[in-house]
Amino acid sequence: MRFDEAIGTTEFRDDPYPYYRELQEAEPLHWCEPWGCWVLSRYADIAPVIQDYKRFSNRARVTNVIRREFPESFLEKIQPLLQHFGQGLINVDPPDHTRLRKLVQKTFLPKTLERLKPHIQAIVDELLDQVVPTGKIEIVRDLAYPLPVTVIAELLGVPTDMRQQFKELSGTILEFQAMPRPEEATILRSQEALIELRSYLDEVARERRQNPRDDLMTQLVSVEEEGDRLSHEELLSTSVGLLVAGHETTTNLITSAVWLFLRHGIDTAKLAEDPSLMETAIEEVLRFESPLQRLGRTVIEDCQLHGTTIRSGETLFSLLGAANRDPSQFDQPNTLNIHRSPNRHLAFGHGVHFCLGAPLARIEAPIALKTLFTRLPEVKLATDQVRWNSGVMRGIKRLPLTFSSADR
């Protein structure tokens, strides 16, 4: 089955890697008709493309195909969505990206995040305390989702008791990005969720103007009030991006790690005891099951790739999941090797758009996994079949485990 025919099938959703490999071997630059864009699959092509923002822009990367494929009458209906994804930290290039990133980067520096470790540990302990007496845990619901969404919500200064609502809104906002040519109903549903989340964050921002606190939203509001450094629209777009991206990747990372370690018979007790081994193991999970499977870019000027001319305004998708399984870059790429070093995966991107939240994910995941495997050393998979999310994000929907309730 060719790549275009596989898209949307159960086989592709559960295991896209054979199709990625077929592209790498037969057509490393591929025009994907269902997606309406060009697709790159080799590491050597993708690494330079995603760091070259002057030729391959982040601007309109999410909505470029929609703008091109849908009639003007429909585009008028989705102006809030189009405007949102045309600004904010995640959707722009330097110099705007540089300006916005400086405003929030201090919060996500490794040295700054170190102070959060005791609090993250307390959150993990509290989450596990709730399931220990039951003898079972559903990783996504009970640990992998509530941990990162609680942390990012607290950083932003929004109530963590709304985390289930955040999960539902975030998932719906991401729906239209599952395929570059989504149905109109999907786009409208995503826009509705986006408007609701923006409205809520707008209320938080307005409250912070009256009652400043020690959180990121207060910092963003204070910068906004200084003048032209941060517009209100940029504040909302950036806040939504941080809240959505700030937990989705880490949720998928933690869940995939538990699945892979248990499925592959990894000595989890040894992992829990050895911080350096845990570190390399997590990097291998990021490579092996990249939470973010692809990055879109808008082509700024006509260029040549693999002897083909790509026109200005077209969309180019870099398949991170394919690059991270490229045999020209990684020895035995389809083997989970928790000792792999070096491991120059592209799971967090590359260049100026390297994931802002990567340091936070690299703190949260080891704490969650170490605590899980220490307190529940006899934890076992309750199923050998899981269902993966399909789309721009790759993660397991549900992962039930069992253990003896006597474990601590």
β-pair type (136-138, 294-299): unpaired
Cβ-Cβ contacts under 8 Å for 319 (sequence gap 6 or more): 20, 23, 39, 40, 41, 46, 293, 294
At 158-201, the pLDDT tens digits run: 887 887 888 889 889 988 987 778 899 999 999 999 999 999 99
Helix (H, G, I), strand (E, B) or coil at 124: helix
pLDDT of residue 226: 59
Average pLDDT, rounded, for the chain: 92
- Asked if 139 contacts 399 with a C-beta cutoff of 8 angstroms, the reply is yes
pLDDT of residue 269: 95
pLDDT of residue 228: 56
Give the whole-angstrom CA distance, residue 9 versus residue 319.
18
Percent of the chain whose predicted confidence (pLDDT) is above 90: 69
Name the phi and psi angles at 260, rounded to 5. Answer: -70, -45
Work out the pLDDT band at 407, boundaries 50, 70, 90: low
- Asked if 368 contacts 345 with a C-beta cutoff of 8 angstroms, the reply is no
pTM assigned to the model: 0.92
Structure tokens at 64: 């470029």
At 211-237, the pLDDT tens digits run: 999 888 888 888 765 555 778 888 899
| Range 288-311 average pLDDT | 95
Tokens 């539902």 map to which residue? 168
Helix (H) or strand (E) holding 297: strand 294-299
Tokens 């937990």 map to which residue? 247
Residue 383 has pLDDT above 80, yes or no: yes
Name the more confident of 89 and 402: 402
Work out the pLDDT band at 242, boundaries 50, 70, 90: confident
Percent of the chain whose predicted confidence (pLDDT) is above 70: 98
| Range 137-164 average pLDDT | 90
Q: In what order do the strands lie in the sheet with 380-381?
A: 136-138, 400-402, 380-381
Residues in the chain: 408
pLDDT of residue 406: 52
- Asked if 379 contacts 403 with a C-beta cutoff of 8 angstroms, the reply is yes
- Nearest Cα residue to 187 out of 294, 91, 79: 79
What type of residue is 298? T
pLDDT of residue 50: 95
At 33-73, the pLDDT tens digits run: 988 899 999 999 999 999 999 999 998 788 888 988 899 99
